Amino acid sequence: MAKVREVMTKDVPQVDVSSSVLDASKVMNQRKANGVVVFQEGKPVGMFTDRSLLRRFIKLNKRPEEVKVKDVMAPLLKISADASVKEAAKKILDQGVTRLGVFENDQLVGWVTVTDIARDSSKQGLIDSLRRQSQEGSEDELLCPACRSGVMKKVTGSGGRILRWECPNCMHQE
């Protein structure tokens, strides 16, 4: 099983907590990234992503130069560089995020995203790595690889045989 350090993105864009949403967005555009790590006094304290922009900033109905990233950033969830890719995929699924900060000791060394995991995995491997073992009596849950926000549902045939998985959000099928 691959380690997070083998698939992570190492050179992640960074901004300071005092940066505006406009400044962070410019960095994201320049770096062709969909997120930045937010630092305060040299330490990573959060992340600002395209999801933060849509879910946290837009509802404020303010100009991007008027809002600091510290006011709309998301928490930066951590994982060890030596953790397995499967462990990272499970944590991403369980927490409902698209990326995790990768750390060695207290040092940020990169981040691992759903895209990094997908790049390292075959389609079936990604599905298997994102599958969460269900508790007794509940269905397995699977993050949609297309929209990354829906939970795939089993479509079964006679005898309970799984015919396919389908996302109720984007209607993607596996």
For the chain, the domains span 4-120, 131-166
Query: Could you give the 3-state DSSP secondary structure of residue 42?
Result: coil
pLDDT given at position 156: 79
Q: State pTM to two decimals.
A: 0.67
pLDDT in tens, 97-132: 989 999 998 899 999 998 888 877 654 454 555 554
- 161: pLDDT confidence band, cut at 50, 70 and 90? confident
Mean pLDDT computed over 122-151: 57
Strand partners, 39: 16, 44
Mean pLDDT computed over 169-173: 82
Contact 148, 160 (CB under 8 A): no
Q: Per the CATH hierarchy, to which homologous superfamily does domain 4-120 belong?
A: CBS-domain (3.10.580.10)
Reply yes or no on whether the pLDDT at 88 is more than 60.
Answer: yes
CA 142/CA 133 separation, integer angstroms: 10
pLDDT in tens, 26-47: 999 999 999 999 999 999 999 9
Q: Which of 8-12, 17-21, 110-114, 159-163 is the least confident region?
A: 159-163
pLDDT given at position 130: 58
CA 169/CA 100 separation, integer angstroms: 24
- 158: pLDDT confidence band, cut at 50, 70 and 90? confident
Strand partners, 62: none
CA 97/CA 117 separation, integer angstroms: 13
CA 123/CA 145 separation, integer angstroms: 9
Q: Which of 5-14, 30-39, 160-169 is the least confident region?
A: 160-169
Share of residues in the chain with pLDDT > 70 (%): 87
Mean pLDDT computed over 65-88: 95
